[in-house]
Chains A and B, each alone.
Chain A
Amino acid sequence: MCKSSVLLLALCTLLVAPVFAAAPITVSGAWIRLIPGDAPCGGYLAIHNNTDKPIELTEVSGPDFKRIELHHSMGAGGMSHMTPVKSITVPAQGEFSFSPGGYHLMMWRRNKLDVGQQVPLTLHFSDGWTVRATFTVKGAAG
């Protein structure tokens, strides 16, 4: 009896573990660049799409922020400019990176943040998926 329970438990673990490993959407390397004063902060992360369909990120929200927009910086040697984007698409079985000098989250704070703090945010996707992610707050110099 006992033996078979253990076996059953082991079997369950084996069955369940791969399901967790292959969560449809995962996030890595999420951090916020803390800008002094009231100016907006920049947010960065990589989104991994483990499904066979492209997914579209439309919104990011969190209790510590009044407003978060998706932005894209362009131009390197010449003029630099920043444009808001409505959404970004993460390809099927692929990833999309928000990284310095490219796509970023433009984040207007509601609450004071400190370097080292872990901040919860929710990513909203067009098909109704929501994914919670924890961002690490770093200093202005990253």
Chain B
Amino acid sequence: MMRCGFAATAAALFAAVILTACGGKQQWQTTNITGVMPDLKFTLTDGNKQIEHAGAYRGKIKLLYFGYTHCPDVCPLTLATIGRALKKIGPEAKQTVVLFVSVDPKRDTPDVLKQYADAFGPQFVGLTGTQSQLKALAKRYRVSYSYDKPDAQGNYAVNHSGAVFVFDRDGKVRLLMNRTDGADEMAHDLKQLIES
């Protein structure tokens, strides 16, 4: 019985090695969502106050994340993890762009967003838009956002998606990452996308 188990494990391992050696399908360490969501498309504003369409980043690997700058924990943690992943990739990281879309346009003016995005590295771009532009983009990727009631000082928390959507050079959706994925896993998959 025991022997049988060993034999089966060995056979499975052997099969896995053969598959990998034959360069079968690409192995992903984050979640492969190829084909399950529409191509990247939006109308938003960036720190230079221009309207950006997804086409502006054609040819780059695009990472899309929804957040807001008055988020002291999860948003910078996610962006910092992406930043570490990009550092691991090295010079090829120039072929990526991280689109940080603020769903809090009331506080996140283009100037605030530019300053914020710049703090994470040259690949980071802060975008925002009108409520209808933001809602359209959120709906496209089946995420939502909402605002908590302001406290006595007028501060409010924003509930937002924790997901990072990754699109290839042509804007096709490929991967879903989140902050529990490590920088190593992100770097592995982004490098694989850059080189494919």
Contact flags (1/0) for B60-91 with A, using CB distance below 8 Å?
00000000011111101101100110000000
* Selected A-B contacts with CB under 8 Å, 16 pairs: A36-B119, A39-B112, A42-B72, A71-B73, A73-B74, A79-B161, A82-B74, A83-B157, A100-B77, A104-B72, A107-B72, A108-B155, A139-B119, A140-B76, A141-B84, A141-B121
| Nearest chain A CB to B74 CB, angstrom units | 5
**A40, B70: Cβ atoms under 8 Å?**
yes
**A73, B116: Cβ atoms under 8 Å?**
no
Contact flags (1/0) for B11-34 with A, using CB distance below 8 Å?
000000000000000000000000
**B179, A37: Cβ atoms under 8 Å?**
no
Give the residue of B72, B80, B120 whose beta carbon is less than 8 angstroms from that of A106: B72
Chain A contact residue count (CB 8 A cutoff): 30
Interface residues of B (CB under 8 A from A): 69-74, 76-77, 79-80, 83-84, 107, 112, 115-116, 118-121, 144, 148, 153, 155, 157, 159-163, 178-180
Q: Which residue of B lies closest to A66 (CB)?
A: B153
Q: Among B69, B153, B180, find the residue whose CB has the most chain A CB atoms closer than 10 A.
A: B69
Give the residue of B72, B107, B119, B144 whose beta carbon is less than 8 angstroms from that of A141: B119
Give the residue of B107, B116, B153, B160 whose beta carbon is less than 8 angstroms from that of A80: B160
A41 at the interface (CB under 8 A from B): yes
A81 at the interface (CB under 8 A from B): yes
**A67, B153: Cβ atoms under 8 Å?**
yes
- Given the interface contacts A42-B72, A141-B76, does A77 sit within 8 Å of B163 by beta carbon? yes
Q: Which residue of B lies closest to A83 (CB)?
A: B157
A128 at the interface (CB under 8 A from B): no
For B120, what are the chain A residues with a Cβ–Cβ distance below 8 Å?
140-141
**A81, B157: Cβ atoms under 8 Å?**
yes
**A77, B162: Cβ atoms under 8 Å?**
yes
**B73, A100: Cβ atoms under 8 Å?**
yes
